[in-house]
Amino acid sequence: MIVLDCDPGLDDAIAILLLLASREQDIAAITTVAGNVELSRTQWNARAIVDLSPRKAKVYAGCPRPMVFDHVHAKHIHGETGIPDTHFDTVECPLEREHAVDHLARLLEGAEERSVTLCFVGPLTNLGVLLVMRPELAIKVRRLVMMGGAIALGNTTPAAEYNIFADPHAAKVVFEADFPRVMLPLDTTSAVLVDEEISGRIEAHGNPASRFAGRLMRRPVSSPRFKGKGRPMHDMCAVGYCLWPDLFKGRECEVRIDCSEGMSRGRTVIDYWGIRGNANALVIDEVEAETFLSRVVERFAALAFDERRETA
């Protein structure tokens, strides 16, 4: 059983579709949080993306702001609506009435110990609030797989990656909780680049989900770091780890979160060489990118198969 928490977001959209295409995963919920754009946009976008898939999932809206700091959006990357050049006028997927944090609490209450996988690809606010309210529910989490943080440099400030910068206090709570964590940092996810060939193969499947995904993946990248190489799709790497952990390697490290209001806000301080010996997360530092992307292409083909089967 898996919960995907997100803030769509261009790469969140791809992560949602990849998970929906993976029927071996029992999706308990898709929860949303304020992040790349406001909560009203992230829940709307998540529902619209579910509409593109023949497989459905329930969507819950969560926290509209971080635990302490004001909300910091990323519209300069993801546009005013959260997904560049995309506006969904209507959605069919309903928004569940229950708050995402309340739903997570109820889900974990009824679960066996270490049975629920949490996949978080946005700010960690919903999970941080849950753990403050109900810390005893940590025992129900099998593991948290998250996209966030950086071993080296950030992308929002020189020190910090966006998801952690957006709500460092929530991240601090999460990294101190009693469950296993898998962290996919910016350094690693930036090595998985979708080029024209990959996006074209996905779009060629011809179903609504793959056409939408291929178009997003083809968008030009403004960063000179990636120009001419492809577009990083950070969030789908976290979903990918949940599907194919054999494609990833990492090391057990201690990770601490800088919650200061200065230049280091949101930095993930990682004891990469194990100097202190207090590991609290598996930090992924290698990925078999070519094989991973091939499997992603195959999954979008599965969405096309599902669409034909369910409309036959």
Partners of 305 in the beta sheet?
A: none
pLDDT of residue 303: 77
Give me the domain span that covers residue 193: 2-311
Structure tokens at 182: 């898998």
pLDDT for 310: 38
Residue 311 is predicted with a pLDDT of: 34
* 258: annotated active-site residue: no
Q: What is the pLDDT at residue 222? A: 66
CATH number of the domain within which 266 lies: 3.90.245.10
Q: Which residues of the chain have pLDDT under 50?
A: 305-312
What pLDDT score does 218 carry? Answer: 87
77 backbone dihedrals φ, ψ, rounded to 5°: -105, -45
pLDDT at 306: 47
In 3D, which of 238, 239, 235, 5 has the Cα closest to residue 104? Answer: 5
Q: What is the pLDDT of residue 14?
A: 96
Render pLDDT for 184-205 as a digit per residue (tens, 0 to 9). Answer: 999 999 999 999 999 999 999 9
Per-residue pLDDT reduced to its tens digit, 259-304 = 999 999 999 999 999 999 999 999 999 999 999 999 999 999 877 6
Helix 289-311 vs helix 234-243: crossing angle, to nearest 10: 80
Read off the pTM. 0.94
**C-alpha torsion 122→123→126→127, nearest 10:** 90
Backbone angles phi, psi at 199, to 5 degrees: -65, -35
Tally the domains of the chain: 1
Q: Dihedral sign, CA of 249, 124, 1, 83?
A: negative
Token pair of 304 as six digits = 């096309």
| Options 5, 7, 235, 285, the catalytic residue | 7
